[in-house]
Homo-oligomer: A and B are copies of this chain.
């Protein structure tokens, strides 16, 4: 991926998305003609996986004057609580107004990437697809899915997220299609008829009938073209259990459909993933929604540590540059 692919939004560049007090601070300094070179450091409030830095650097490249200096960790790199992930040395008025955007981009993107990583680690190699776009505002659905992929997901369901991450969007079929058509097998056959061959055939089998019965029906109807069945049993019906996965596997195998995978979704989180693995359920893929998309952002704090070349800091912080050998110069 190239750094410059993140388009900087005009509302961000204009400062409209900023906290008013940063804008006022820059205004006051400019009215007084004060604009010293200042060093700002940014650090997180808990451990995680860094994401959003590419977008932040795209913004800074547009904003900072020449001779500025920026050091940063890389997109996808892990960080520790309080570790400096970004250090900017430049005339304060050139970047002061972006403190809001920098912190917010890193906070939410790193939160998403970190949650994705937890699922990926729990799954021990079973692929995970980000399914959470429908729990976040559409303006950030794409960047959320992009972050999930930075965190280790193999794919995502939103078109915008897949575009940002330069992968093909993934998904099965919605319950709505089956309900409109009235039958899972019919929906599966039409899907198979119209979709390009490179789109995997994954049938959603919990809409009308028992999951095991429906799995056998679609396996018979699509034969070798069926890639997988998707179990998404709702809480009202006891959610997907490890035993259900095992039973569907056994019944598919008895029917000669060993090639059909079993994709599981519905309230999946690291605990649920571990539950399936500990109970040896033969899951071939997980769809994770709100555990990733609804995670609490990782708050980032920005502090000035030098002004005009001299160490300084507010109470509670250490004056001067905080050493971090992992930082690399990026601007």
Contact = CB atoms under 8 A, between A and B. Distances in A.
Contacts of A190: 28, 32
B172 A99 contact: no
Interface in A83-105: 92, 96, 99-101, 103-105
A247 interface: yes
Interface string A227-249: 00000011111110101101100
Interface stretch (A70-78, A119-127, A207-215): A207-215
Nearest to A296: B294
Interface in A115-167: 131, 133-143, 157-160, 162-163
A234 B302 CA distance: 13
Given A180-B307, A319-B254, A17 B135 contact: no
Contacts of A27: 194
Contacts of A223: none
Interface stretch (A61-69, A270-278, A310-318, A323-331): A310-318
Interface of A: 9, 11-12, 15-25, 27-29, 31-32, 34, 36, 38, 40, 52, 92, 96, 99-101, 103-105, 107-109, 111, 131, 133-143, 157-160, 162-163, 169-182, 190-191, 194-195, 199, 206-210, 212-213, 233-239, 241, 243-244, 246-247, 250-251, 254, 289-290, 293-297, 299-300, 303-304, 307, 311-320
Given A16-B163, A207-B314, 4 more contacts: A20-B171, A108-B135, A206-B314, A294-B299
